[in-house]
Amino acid sequence: MANRKRLALHWKILIGLALGVIVGLAVNQFWTAETWRSLGVADPASYLGSKSQYKASIAEGGPNEGAGVIAMGARQVRLAIGFAGDLFLNALKFIAVPIVLFSLIVGVSSLNDTSRLGRIGGKTIGIYLVTTAVAITVGLVAANLLGPGRGFDQEQRELLIAKEKANADQKVGSANEEREKTVWKVLLDIVPTNPFGAMANGNTLQVVVVALLVGVAITMLPREKAEPLIVFFDAMTEVIIKIVEMILVIAPYAVFALLVRVIADLGTDVLLSLLKYCAVVVLGLSIMCFAVYPSVLLAFTPVRYRRFFRAISPAQLLAFSSSSSGATLPVTMECCEERLGVREEIGSFVLPVGATINMDGTALYQGVAAVFIAQLYGMDLTIAQQAQIVLTATLASIGTAAVPGVGIVMLVIVLESVGIPLEGIAVILGVDRILDMCRTTVNVTGDCMVATVVAHSENALLTEEEVIARQQAAEARGLDEFTKEQEEREKAMD
Ligand code: ASP
């Protein structure tokens, strides 16, 4: 036992993910409304609330009691596991603001030359906009070539619309608020009127601005005044990193919980009827993730495929499980800075900005979804309309929060810009969550890629050897510290 080899974090998370899918499928068998209906319960919602209601229905000659109790049990499992997943997400969100704030202040105040900031900012935003536009183009091309919506059964279309109508109307309603934002308003909103408000609301871009201002101002102070501040913020960054490390230890269990919930809630029948559409989205996302990004890295940096994916895989797996690049941000920063070797001054700026304005996966998905819905209604999109989609989706991606499901709200704006019927959104809503998981993974991967490119161009990327040496030197505060301590205790007991 003493020589037992420790499993790498990404393997542990992968195992959690696989087990989550298996348990989720089992729960799904018993908990979905469809299952209740097939058990003879006409209106499942009225039974899900209370056991006594369910019992009353039995007294009236309702469904088979045994099956109902299993369903009730499955629901409880779903709720309990969902709670565990939420607890983990809360912990991640809780550190997102402090980690951006403290580490960016330290990063900026340690820059000897603050004029570098403008250059880094310009490069970052420029690359983000280009990759977003490339992503939508990949989506549009894939959807045009493969035509997932061509020949789609009209009856099936109406059925799906009827099922999700209320939900779709709500998304269109949320888009109204977004639509009212002009580009100027979005830009104006980046500068907070109250720095504490920015932090309290968890507005990442605003927190970035606060940190930049504080960091630059610190560099202007006399050395004896600046020094203690830098020491303080540096120590606070270390504290937050410790918390991220603790959170990563429980990540495999949390990923299990998150997956059980998603799969338990999944309508498998809807998934089957939209299989071709889902396949095109996943194909486009895979091209972006496994072909476009590695090619860019190959062209502009010394980072190769294996090194890149090995380093960022915990962040990718977490993005997949949580569907939120915002919640994943602390782990993305940890992976890029500690495992990939992107220096703090670059990572702590490029990654939070990317979590908000760079959503390549979401953009690609919008390209496919727009063409798919147009095809459902027999519309042929002209080249000009598709160019309009590229423009609208790129602009819409700036200033939208990195939380689950915003992609579909942005899609409303994209569809409207070229006159595609909005009710088509209802057709794809049933599979949105699962595609959200996939696109969020690409969103996070894109951020990591850009951070690597910018870091290399600024001479702020460690070599692989340097990363390994640093990890070995900092073994005591490694990612698996807790497991290690436990191993040492076991060793002592042996
Ligand atoms: N969930 C995505 C993210 O957080 C955004 C979306 O596509 O809905 O990156």
Q: Does residue 402 line the site of ligand 1, with CB under 6 A?
A: yes
Q: Is residue 45 included in any domain, yes or no?
A: no
Q: Is residue 83 included in any domain, yes or no?
A: yes
Q: Does residue 436 line the site of ligand 1, with CB under 6 A?
A: yes
CA of 129 to the centre of ligand 1 (A): 17
* Minimum-distance ligand 1 atom for the alpha carbon of 440: 9
CA of 274 to the centre of ligand 1 (A): 20
Tens-place pLDDT, residues 429-439: 888 888 999 99
* Minimum-distance ligand 1 atom for the alpha carbon of 444: 9
CA of 488 to the centre of ligand 1 (A): 41
User: Exposure pattern of 223-259 as b/e (b: 16+ CB <10 Å)?
Assistant: eeeeeebbeebbebbeebbebbbebbbbbbbbbbbbb
Residues 88, 90, 91: CA angle, nearest 5 degrees: 65
Q: How far apart are CA 169 and CA 452, in angstroms?
A: 40
Q: Is residue 371 included in any domain, yes or no?
A: yes
Q: Is residue 440 included in any domain, yes or no?
A: yes
CA of 426 to the centre of ligand 1 (A): 18
* Minimum-distance ligand 1 atom for the alpha carbon of 365: 7
Residue 69: partners with Cβ closer than 8 Å, 6 or more residues away? none
Tens-place pLDDT, residues 355-387: 888 999 999 999 999 999 999 888 888 999 999
Q: Does residue 404 line the site of ligand 1, with CB under 6 A?
A: yes
Q: Is residue 413 included in any domain, yes or no?
A: yes
The amino acid occupying position 386 is: Q
Q: Does residue 168 line the site of ligand 1, with CB under 6 A?
A: no
Q: How far apart are CA 232 and CA 333, in angstroms?
A: 20
Number of domains in the chain: 1
As a whole number of angstroms, the longest Cα–Cα distance in the chain is 82
Distances (CA, A) of 337 to 244, 286, 301, 368, 387: 13, 24, 16, 33, 36
Give the residues across from 405 on adjacent strands: none
Among 468, 35, 481, 37, CA closest to 242? 481
Q: Does residue 362 line the site of ligand 1, with CB under 6 A?
A: yes
Q: Is residue 382 included in any domain, yes or no?
A: yes
Q: Is residue 143 included in any domain, yes or no?
A: yes
Residue 88 structural domain: 77-475
Q: List the CATH number of the domain containing 94.
A: 1.10.3860.10
> What's 304's DSSP letter?
-
pLDDT tens by residue, the chain, 494 residues: 444 567 888 899 999 999 999 988 887 776 655 555 555 555 554 444 444 555 566 566 655 555 566 666 767 777 788 888 889 999 988 888 999 999 899 988 887 777 888 899 999 999 999 999 999 999 999 999 998 888 888 888 888 788 777 778 877 877 776 666 666 777 788 899 999 999 998 888 899 999 999 999 998 999 899 999 999 999 999 899 889 888 888 999 999 999 888 887 776 667 777 889 999 999 999 999 999 999 999 999 999 999 999 999 999 999 999 999 989 999 999 999 999 999 988 999 999 999 888 999 999 999 999 999 999 888 888 999 999 999 888 887 776 667 777 888 888 888 988 989 888 888 898 888 889 999 999 999 999 999 999 999 999 999 988 888 887 877 655 445 545 555 565 566 55
CA of 443 to the centre of ligand 1 (A): 7
Q: Is residue 4 included in any domain, yes or no?
A: no
